[in-house]
Amino acid sequence: MDLSIICRLVGIGLSSNRKRRVTTMTTKEGEQPGVFNSTESQSSESLAQGINKTDHVFQMLLRQVHAALETYSNVHRGSGHYSMVTTHLFEKARDVVLDHLHLPRRNTVLLFCTKRRAEALFKQLKPSDYQCISSEDIGLALGVTAAAVNKKALRRCAVTETGGGTTRLISPKSITWAAVPDRFEAGTPAVINIIAFAVALRLIRQFGTIVFSDLTAHQSEIVDILYRDDLEDFTGLELLNRLRQTLIGQGVLVPTAMGDRRHVNLDNSASTPTFLPIWNAVQQTWRLQKSMHEKIVCEVKSVIADTIGAPSDVFELLFTSNTTEAVNLAAENFGRELEEGVEPLVLSTILEHSSNDLPWRMLPGVSLLRLPVDEDGFVDLNELDAFLCKYNKECLHGNKRIKIVTVSGASNVLGVFTPIEEIGRIVHRHGARFLVDGAQLVAHRAVNLQHLGIDYFVFSAHKVYAPFGCGVLAVKKDLLRFTPRELKSIRSSGEMNVGGIAALGKALILLKRIGLDVIQEEEQTLTARMLRGLSKIPGLEIYGIRDPDSPRFSKKGGVIVFNLKGSMGSRTAKQLACQAGIGVRYGCHCSHMLVKHILHVGPTLQRFQHMIVTLFPKLLLPGVVRVSFGIENSEEDVDRCVVALQNIALKSQSVMGETADGTPEPKLLLPNADVKQRMNDFVEAAVQRVYAS
């Protein structure tokens, strides 16, 4: 049977990647696709000014990383220009490293990971099966390890960490793993650091051996890096407005069917862009002498402790590369707590991101149970209580005990904030531990671990405007079960990425100075405006809380998911990019069980989808289009998105022959094929700027 017929039968679309032209690194002469701010390479200037070679090359590195930041978005599955650019930059980094190591692509897979994750993988391999190079080797404090592994040997390896990106599809009982290398790169990679590492390797190739730790001493004080900036006299909304002006990539124009337009990023739940004061902190930290690294790590720990209410005498703070690694660590630590004679259970919900599901599911000797959620994404607290009571108090299930309850603080799909305080109280009443996945929480609402009764807390810096590959696990000290040796290895792996740690510290300080209450108000205003606008679009179905006047609206953050009747969501997302320069995301957002729940995909269809995805891995599953706000967004962004969706809906309905009111179809300036070509040219030009040397 024809593939497209199968797709329609099971409600699956063909991945646009399948059709996408593979772009090369060359830009056609005289062509200027898209418009960037001017940060052109000034390669020979600084050398002529007598700056030493390492400093000169370091400045080039900074300029090229800045170029990557201008069009930053999360890799894979995003639909906008920025996601295309960043995915190309990231994948190109693999080629750069393989070239550096003089290894063939044919039989080698290049994985990016942390030192710790690499070590776990290497334990399964023969020394002849892999080669490894890290950012430390060239004197850069990025915390990036690149492992080049023989393809055949890698196929025999078990995944050591699981979570977002490692699977194609999950259901309560089955997992379809992603292909390599994704299967071994759990969670959001440290994209910018990886690009920086690849750029540095190319610069080394051009300029000869350079050790970036040999920079001319130019030491900043820790206090200057973290606390001083051009905006230090401002707070609250005024600071927020001024910070918006410093968005890296502000003013980048992208090609659309309407001509070149300012890019609008509505994909903040996937990853957030950054701002000049945060980038400045990173640049200063990358220059710091190694002897200062410990000081900055220590100071940022105290910033985090203060921000999330996790005092250092009660909580241990461990740096990771992302939330996923932090959940894996928490699960590993929890696995050591198990008692003889007790069958341990982990209780979570169907709302969870796969990074807060798979690590528990894969934990040996432990079973995972999931509570349902209602259509808005809320757990029934009475049901939670009754559940815990049955297992832990009334002991109705033999020696099975719920030992830990693990929930998202905020959903990356429905945008709702979970009632953590109430859940924490119930969980502790029944003697269980409590983990909160704060990936979607920290940038949006204030948290205090002590007040909320949280035992384990995890989050990622790249969702807090610090996209430099840093994550955090906060765990109560008395629950730590790692040996001192293991702790040393965990710390040394996480703390290598000093720049990422400083970025996180700086971002948290700025958010605090703005005030989470101010951010919350702005976010609610944008969300209400968007919901009102979307509610007027015929054929557009919003999932979850959709009425800004309902009592539940105060529990909703800036994440809205929807579908347009008669159009595959992947197409809607692509159209938003092509027609209006808006970057959103489409799919299951690594929350397969929740998306199936809101789309009412029953078990039989789910089984069929598993079969289809196994046979045709490039197929896209039915999902939802997601817009998600960050602090850089404005009412103008919302209105642009609403108008674009109105136009898309009008067009898809007129195609279906349903437009009855005779509204004229919007006129697009350029045909689809031209826009696609210009988008590809834009991507090529952006890639060229970053890997210019």
By CB under 6 A, is residue 359 in contact with ligand PLP? no
H/E segment holding residue 566: none
Cβ proximity to ligand PLP, 353 vs 640, nearer residue = 353
Cβ proximity to ligand PLP, 190 vs 519, nearer residue = 190
Pattern 499-538, binding to ligand PLP, x per CB under 6 A?
----------------------------------------
Which residue lies nearest ligand PLP, judged by its C-beta? 187
By CB under 6 A, is residue 437 in contact with ligand PLP? yes
Which residues, 164 to 183, sit near ligand PLP by CB under 6 A? 164
- Beta pairing partners, 607: none
Tokens of 287: 């220059």
Among 83, 167, 188, 606, binds ligand PLP (CB under 6 A): 188
Contact region with ligand PLP (CB under 6 A), list: 351-359, 476-484, 529-537, 595-603: 351-359
By CB under 6 A, is residue 324 in contact with ligand PLP? yes
Edge-to-edge, what's the strand order for the sheet holding 108-113? 108-113, 145-150, 130-134
Q: What DSSP designation does 214 have? A: G
By CB under 6 A, is residue 418 in contact with ligand PLP? no
Please report how close the Cβ of residue 411 comes to ligand PLP at its closest, in angstroms. 7
Cβ proximity to ligand PLP, 118 vs 225, nearer residue = 118
Tell which residue, 200, 127, 182, 164, has the closest CA to residue 17.
182
Please report how close the Cβ of residue 417 comes to ligand PLP at its closest, in angstroms. 12
Cβ proximity to ligand PLP, 242 vs 370, nearer residue = 370
Among 86, 108, 134, 440, binds ligand PLP (CB under 6 A): 440
Q: How many residues would you count in the chain?
A: 693
**Any idea which residue has 């590959």 for tokens?**
469
Please check whether residue 305 is in contact with residue 315, taking contact to mean a CB–CB distance below 8 angstroms: yes
Tokens of 379: 């757990």
Cβ proximity to ligand PLP, 88 vs 585, nearer residue = 585
By CB under 6 A, is residue 353 in contact with ligand PLP? yes
Contact region with ligand PLP (CB under 6 A), list: 244-252, 273-281, 319-327, 572-580: 319-327
Q: Say how far apart CA 138 and CA 136 lie, in whole Å.
A: 5
By CB under 6 A, is residue 467 in contact with ligand PLP? no
Q: What DSSP designation does 173 have? A: S
By CB under 6 A, is residue 134 in contact with ligand PLP? no
Please check whether residue 74 is in contact with residue 86, taking contact to mean a CB–CB distance below 8 angstroms: yes
End-to-end CA distance of the chain: 49
Contact region with ligand PLP (CB under 6 A), list: 17-25, 214-222, 434-442, 502-510: 434-442
Binding residues for ligand PLP, how many (CB under 6 A)?
A: 17
Please report how close the Cβ of residue 177 comes to ligand PLP at its closest, in angstroms. 17
Cβ proximity to ligand PLP, 188 vs 333, nearer residue = 188
Please check whether residue 215 is in contact with residue 46, taking contact to mean a CB–CB distance below 8 angstroms: no
Upper half-sphere CA count for residue 543 (Cβ side, 13 Å): 25
Q: Say how far apart CA 685 and CA 693 lie, in whole Å.
A: 14
Q: 3-state DSSP call for residue 243? A: helix
Pattern 255-284, binding to ligand PLP, x per CB under 6 A?
--------------x---------------
Annotate 480-527 with DSSP letters as a single string: --S-HHHHHHHHHHHTT-HHHHHHHHHHHHHHHHH-HHHHHHHHHHHH
Please report how close the Cβ of residue 74 comes to ligand PLP at its closest, in angstroms. 8
By CB under 6 A, is residue 161 in contact with ligand PLP? no
Q: Say how far apart CA 49 and CA 55 lie, in whole Å.
A: 11
Identity at 274, one-letter amino acid code: T
Contact region with ligand PLP (CB under 6 A), list: 228-236, 371-379, 437-445, 527-535: 437-445
Identity at 595, one-letter amino acid code: V
Reading phi first (left if > 0) and then psi (alpha if -120 to 50, else beta), residue 431 is in left
Q: 3-state DSSP call for residue 153? A: helix
Among 83, 131, 280, 355, binds ligand PLP (CB under 6 A): 355
Which residues, 194 to 253, sit near ligand PLP by CB under 6 A? none
Pattern 53-92, binding to ligand PLP, x per CB under 6 A?
----------------------------------------
Q: Say how far apart CA 435 and CA 98 lie, in whole Å.
A: 39
H/E segment holding residue 562: strand 559-564
Among 272, 307, 392, 408, binds ligand PLP (CB under 6 A): 408
Kindly list the residues in this chain that would bind ligand PLP in the complex (CB under 6 A). Answer: 164, 187-188, 269, 322-324, 353, 355-356, 408, 412, 437, 439-440, 460, 462
